[in-house]
């Protein structure tokens, strides 16, 4: 599931570049609105229980800000100034934030040496894999870079906050639909009040197609997997997906665009896989002799 989620989210960085014909907040609002329609269709088709408590919908609203409105807007705006490759490197800081925030909020996910070492190895792996060219861009557009880093912090907060939905016995689809719906309402109203939407009529079919794909696959399906993983693997492990996203982008180039893998990309991938093994810890636990 982590690999599939990394594929779905990895595609979004490329698709954002195509969809930027739309104003930033309009793009995000349309993406969320379409995803909400898809998610509620799925919820109704499966007969999942829809919560009626006001406290649950307030939690959906908070999750919508932390997991959708804030990070989506910051990343899309950031990519108007920096490349998608640099954005994916900066977004790889998310697991570091996740380790620290989970330790503060979640008693069952303490900071361990393995987590710190693994996160550091993973970040180095992402940097090696994407290459010095992207790293050389750091500092050129400081505000845009800070925006993507803050998006990672927001994602990390969301992963810790979102653990409560499992305790409420909500299905992953309902949790996803609830947060996307609340963020759609807030951002949709803001966009309608502040934007002139007449220019939307001139947006290309390619841009609209990118938005639809992001809505259906990189948002609706991705968030069903997200809440499933959050319930079963925990907040820290879930955020490791940001290490896998650059691998997805590179492998798509290899298989779809006939690009070749460089030695640096292979080395970066191996470092990322090592990071996942170190953080997981089970392989080392099995290799220790019994007490």
HSE-up of 59 (CA within 13 Å, CB side)?
A: 20
pLDDT tens digit sequence for 163-190: 888 888 889 999 999 999 999 999 999 9
pLDDT of residue 184: 95
pLDDT of residue 291: 58
Mean pLDDT for 57-73 is: 93
pLDDT of residue 223: 92
Q: Is 57's pLDDT higher than 90?
A: yes
Alpha helices (H) along the chain: 2-19, 24-46, 54-64, 70-78, 84-91, 94-105, 113-130, 132-135, 142-161, 164-167, 172-194, 205-213, 222-233, 235-238, 241-256, 263-280, 282-287
Could you tell me the pTM of the whole model? 0.78
Mean pLDDT for 87-103 is: 80
Mean pLDDT for 83-90 is: 73
13's tokens: 């960085």
Q: Say which range, 83-97, 104-118, 127-141, 259-273, has the weakest mean pLDDT.
A: 127-141
| Residues 106/112, Cβ–Cβ less than 8 Å | no
């Amino acid at each position: 599931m982590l690999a599939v989620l990394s594929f779905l989210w990895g595609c979004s960085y490329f698709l954002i570049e195509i969809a930027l014909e739309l104003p930033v907040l309009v793009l995000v609002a349309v993406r969320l609105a379409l995803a909400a329609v898809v998610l509620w269709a799925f919820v109704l088709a499966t007969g999942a229980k829809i919560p009626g408590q006001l406290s649950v919908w307030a939690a959906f609203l908070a999750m919508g800000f932390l997991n959708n409105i804030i990070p989506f807007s910051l990343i899309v705006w950031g990519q108007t100034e920096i490349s998608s490759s640099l954005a994916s490197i900066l977004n790889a800081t998310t697991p570091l934030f996740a380790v620290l925030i989970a330790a503060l909020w979640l008693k069952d996910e303490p900071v361990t040496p393995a987590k710190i070492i693994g996160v550091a190895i993973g970040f180095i792996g992402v940097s090696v894999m994407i290459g010095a060219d992207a790293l050389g861009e750091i500092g050129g557009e400081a505000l845009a870079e800070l925006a993507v880093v803050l998006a990672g912090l927001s994602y990390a907060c969301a992963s810790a906050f979102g653990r409560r939905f499992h305790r409420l016995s909500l299905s992953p689809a309902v949790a996803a639909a609830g947060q996307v719906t609340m963020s759609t309402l807030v951002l949709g109203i803001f966009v309608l009040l502040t934007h002139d939407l007449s220019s939307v009529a001139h947006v290309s079919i390619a841009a609209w197609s990118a938005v639809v794909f992001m809505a259906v696959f990189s948002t609706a399906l991705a968030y069903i997997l997200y809440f499933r993983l959050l319930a079963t693997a925990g907040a820290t492990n879930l955020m490791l997906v940001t290490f896998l996203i650059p691998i997805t982008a590179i492998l798509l180039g290899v298989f779809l665009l006939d690009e070749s893998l460089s030695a640096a990309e292979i080395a970066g991938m191996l470092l990322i896989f090592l990071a996942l093994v170190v953080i997981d810890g089970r392989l080392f636990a099995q290799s220790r002799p019994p007490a």
